[in-house]
Structure 1
Amino acid sequence: MLNITLINLFSFRVPLIKGKSMRTALKEKGLLEDFLKKHPHNLASKYNLYAQPFAEPMYNDLDIEYYGVISIGTPPQSFNVLFDTGSANLWVPSVYCSSYACSNHNKFNPSQSSTYQALNTALSITYGTGSMTGFLAYDTVTIGGIVDPNQMFGLSETEPGSFLYYSPFDGILGLAYPSIASSRATPVFDNMMNQGLVSQDLFSIYLSRNGATGSVVVFGGIDESYYTGQINWVPVTTQGYWQIAVDNVMINGQVVACSQGCPAIVDSGTSLITGPPSEIPTIQQWIGAVNSNNEYYINCQNIPSMPQVVITINGIPYTLPASAYVRQTNGQCTSGFQSMSLPSAQGDLWILGDVFIREYYAIFDRGNNMVGLAQSV
């Protein structure tokens, strides 16, 4: 979704390891050794026998955005990209871009890559903040130790406005479903799955707090060191965004929003928790946030006595203490809730952005179309 604020369901339990790879299944049945003898290495790779989870570190930029380094082309050209579960396209600036936003970022040069293949299909994407236009092409993309050949990606030609100029990342790597990919481009994770590059058809995200290091996206696996307790699995209700159903939002035991249930998306590309303009002001009032020019301020001294906000998903409470939903920057405290109108066929969407994901390790399971949530360490 990429809605970055700059400074100014049905849930049930399943075993931890889901979607066994063929290697694991054959080994459990005592057939792995015989299979490897009968089949050449290229066939074995196709069936995902050697794929392993790979962790891609992410930088934490003031708890506002999380991004990591990938490379595109041969030899590799490096880019910082925001890993965004709220969009589905990979794109980076190109040498064909003359926009202000491209002037201070790395730009992909097709003439310097021997594996580049032109496609020349037009591409246009608009986010909650920022936009781009350009075209699509193919090349090898390397992420966290995974070499992803013939990956479709976008090369920007325009990046209007100043937002992307001030962004620490060069481009965006979308991790949502292919149904929302602009110009029908194949998303990176879909290409990984199709080529058997991941051991499980899922990825997971841990976001650090207070600007600390340690944020990571794990492709093809779940890392127990990033959470405590059990994982609660929530079905994806619409396969576009990572959309789930929320029961309600409560404060001090009272339902204050989403009283009839509401659709929500789990979105690493949005900094805050957003909801309909008809409901978020009620939450701001309950937590004591005061509106000043559409920015909701909080007295920092009140944080220890402020209430918890509980987002309930099929009876499972996901608790957010004030330390999680209050943003403290340069001696000022602001609310981590924001009004945003995002209509959908199921009603106005809520966005569970980084404020939520920092508290709950999130697993995005394409093999079973579920989101797993567990208390972050």
Structure 2
Amino acid sequence: MLTRVIVFIISLACLVHAQISLPIIPDPSFQLLSGEIIVAQQLNSWGIKIGPISLNLGLDLGVLGLKLKKKRDDENRRSRIRSFTGTETELLANQLEQENGKIENESKKRLLGLDLGLLNLGLNFGGSKTSSSGQSKSKALIILNLDTDLSKLFSWGDADNVAKGERGDTEWFTYISIGTPPQSLPILPDTGSSDLFIFGPDCSSCNLNTHNYFKPNQSTTYKNISDNWNFYYADGSGALGYTSSDILSFGSENNKMVSTEMKFAISTEIGGINKDDFKQSQRSGVLGLGLDSMSTIKQGSTLFSNLVKSNQLTENILSIRLQKGKQYQGNFYEEGQGQYTLGGIEENYVVNGRNGLTWTDVQSQYYWGITMDDILVGSNSVLNQDTTTPRRAIIDTGTTLIITSNSASSLIHGNIMGSWQDAQSSIWYIPCTTSYPSTGNIFFSISGRKFGVPISDLAWKKSGQYNGMCISGVQGGMDGFTVLGDMFIKNHYVVLSYGSEQDGNKIQVGLGDRTDIPTIL
């Protein structure tokens, strides 16, 4: 496997303004995964039923049991875990047999898709390995800069081009630093979940020989809480471990540091049909950035929430700018980049700066969920024709595409000439040549303002089965709300806000047009 070299620069001003920069470099680990498999896995992470998909890889996702639903009782979970193979499966089954109660509000919680093999590009919340001396209580603007492109420093060869074509604009990943001194780990940031989960040293099924993992005995600030922890995934896989607490830090070479103590889960076993994804991917966990109510860890909270509560940010906001990769008709030629900013807004990337943001209140207890007025293709309203689709949406960096109801998805694709839905898999396809103005762009109306996605973006990835067809960036099957994943986020500037005392700590989402993206007509 190709080795990644990560370069980051950290600078802290008098207010401990830290800037961390690193490139997003193509991940060659998924060059064998077709877009069909990626979409099937992602839809199933939301409990959306999908039929078998037979590919040249000799893999039948239906046979693999991807029809399982999120909502299930204890007995169903036991029976599914028993169907796994390997020693880790027996451990899972034995532990599950000892459980007495159901997971509270399980049907309302997002199941972390660690087995999906989707989130493998990069951010970096961590810093260089420095001591914890000189910790500062000053408020910080923490910038996670992904704009530096160092790909020319490496000779990737043809394998990189193949990986780009398969991976393009699937997801972005990052590094965090945990412990004292800091240990850097690759994780995926996910605004659709609320737990931090990482590999531990005793995880025999985590492929530790090819992955970074957290070493508790090397941290002087580590605390073992020892509460049992488990996750159950939509495809029937699962993970076991225990909860812990330590320092997440943002350090610099001048011995100044911004840090927060928080709870997280350490895995001891992973089981299920998709656990082999970890053998190829580089990630070692997930960083949830949703609302605290969705956390499955006892009295757990997110990194974002912790920094807000400890009054360490200049503003109680998290800004997200995902820069799309260069692609044409389903082929990607250059990976995207981007930046996450804790505590500030990159006003130069927002049309009309801060004043160009449209704010809307969060309505959900768990997600960054907002009211959606309408969906349009060109000037044609979708929701005026569809009275069943809820006018609700969530902002989710952990989902690659846009997922809406079956009825809304059908109406959207009814406006795209040549689009069709595979009868077996339920996956929507559109011609790779689909473009504006022959087909209108798609818009999501929020707080009276339209936020667009170019129709050419919807030709997301070339099909591995059907010549000339691309997997659509909009898929159906979501009954409760529309998931505005990275297909939407990469076309806008997104700000998540916990508010201030002046506005009653109102939780809101801000959306703005980007200065680096042409106007979407």
Shorter-chain TM-score: what band? 0.7 to 0.9
Deviation at residue 169 of structure 1 after TM alignment? 2.2
Q: Which runs of 5+ in 1 are unaligned?
A: 8-40, 343-347
Give 1:11's aligned residue: none
Letter in 1 for 2:476: S
8 Å CA contact 1:284–1:335 kept in 2: the answer is no
AA aligned to 2:366 is G
Identity, % of aligned positions: 29
8 Å CA contact retained: 1:311, 1:319: yes
**Whole-angstrom CA distance in 2 between matches of 1:132 and 1:255:** 43
Evaluate the alpha carbon distance shift between residue 332 and residue 227 of structure 1 in structure 2; reply closer, same or farther with a 3 A threshold: farther
Code of the residue aligned with 1:279 in structure 2: it is: A
Does 1:141 find its partner at 2:248? yes
Q: Aligned partner of 2:297: which letter?
A: S
Partner of 2:453: 320
Contact 1:52 1:220 in 2 (8 A): yes
In structure 1, C-alpha distance between the alignment counterparts of 2:350 and 2:238, rounded to whole Å? 34
Separation in 1 of the partners of 2:481 and 2:232? Answer: 17
The reply on whether 1:54 has 2:142 as its aligned counterpart is: yes
Whole-angstrom CA distance in 2 between matches of 1:5 and 1:140 = 27
What residue in structure 1 maps to residue 512 of structure 2?
A: 374
Shifted more, 111-120 versus 273-282: the winner is 273-282
- Tell me which amino acid in the other structure corresponds to 1:118: N
What is the CA–CA distance in structure 1 between the aligned matches of 2:173 and 2:146, rounded to whole Å?
5
Q: CA deviation at 1:206?
A: 0.4
> Is 1:191 aligned with 2:306?
yes
**Alpha-carbon separation, structure 2, partners of 1:135 and 1:255:** 48
- What is residue 19 of structure 2 aligned with on the other side? none
Task: Name 1:21's counterpart in structure 2.
Answer: none
Q: Pick the aligned partner of 1:70 from 161, 176, 181.
A: 176
**1:256–1:270 Cα change, 3 Å:** same
Counterpart Cα distance in 1 of 2:274 and 2:322: 26
Residue 267 of structure 1 deviates from its aligned partner by 0.6
Residue 337 of structure 2 corresponds to which residue in structure 1?
214
Structure 1 residues 93 and 181 mapped into 2: Cα distance closer, same or farther (>3 Å)?
same
The range that moved more, 94-103 or 216-225, is: 94-103
CA–CA distance in structure 2, aligned partners of residues 140 and 101 of structure 1: 25
Q: Quote the Cα distance in structure 1 between the aligned partners of 2:223 and 2:491.
A: 41
1:173-215 per-position Cα deviation (integer Å, ceiling 9, x unaligned): 1111110101231211121112222111111100011154531
Structure 1 residue 159: Cα displacement: 2.7
Alignment of 1:83-232 (within 5 A): 83-99=189-205, 104-126=210-232, 131-143=238-250, 147-160=258-271, 161-162=273-274, 164-165=277-278, 166-184=280-298, 185-210=300-325, 211-229=334-352, 230-232=356-358
Which of 340, 343, 367 is equivalent to 1:241? 367
In 2, the alpha carbon distance for the partners of 1:189 and 1:350 equals: 24
> Are 2:169 and 2:336, in contact at CA under 8 Å, matched by a contact in 1?
no
Distance of aligned partners of 1:127 and 1:224 in 2 relative to their CA distance in 1, 3 Å threshold: farther
CA deviation vs aligned residue, 1:115-137 (integer Å, no higher than 9, x gap): 11100112223456775332110
Q: Distance in 1 between matches of 2:508 and 2:214?
A: 35
Q: Distance in 2 between matches of 1:144 and 1:58?
A: 17
Instruction: Provide closer, same or farther for how the CA distance between residues 369 and 138 of structure 1 changes in structure 2, counting only shifts above 3 A.
Output: same
* 2:139 maps to amino acid: A
Comparing 363-372 and 275-284, the one that deviates more: 275-284
Worse-superposed segment, 136-145 or 177-186: 136-145
Report the CA distance between 1:372 and its aligned residue: 0.3
Secondary structure at the counterpart of residue 107 of structure 1: coil
Q: Distance in 2 between matches of 1:206 and 1:144?
A: 23
Aligned residue for 2:401? 272
1:311 aligns with 2:444: yes
Distance 1:270 1:237 in 2: 20
Structure with larger RCO (C-alpha < 8 A, sep 6+): 1
Q: What TM-score comes out, normalization by structure 1 length?
A: 0.80
Deviation of the 1:336 alpha carbon: 0.4
Distance 1:255 1:132 in 2: 43
Q: 1:157 to 1:284 in 2, by over 3 A?
A: farther
Is contact 1:56–1:143 with CA below 8 Å preserved after alignment? no
Q: Partners of 2:146 and 2:197 in 1: how far apart? A: 18
Q: Which runs of 5+ in 2 are unaligned?
A: 1-109, 120-133, 148-163, 326-333, 500-505, 517-521
Residue 140 of structure 1 contacts residue 147 of structure 1 at CA under 8 Å; is this kept in 2?
Answer: no
AA aligned to 2:346 is: D
Deviations 1:72-91 (A, max 9, x none): 11222211111111011111
CA deviation vs aligned residue, 1:100-125 (integer Å, no higher than 9, x gap): 56563211111121111100112223
Q: Which residue of structure 2 lines up, in the alignment, with residue 20 of structure 1?
A: none
Work out whether residues 360 and 374 of structure 1, in 8 Å CA contact, stay in contact via their aligned partners in 2: yes
Q: Find the aligned partners of 1:125 and 1:58 in 2 and give their Cα distance.
A: 31
- Give 1 or 2: higher strand fraction: 1
Pick closer, same or farther for the CA change 1:373–1:169 going to 2, 3 Å. same
- Does the CA-based 8 Å contact 1:205-1:363 persist in structure 2? yes
Deviates more, 1:83-92 or 1:252-261: 252-261
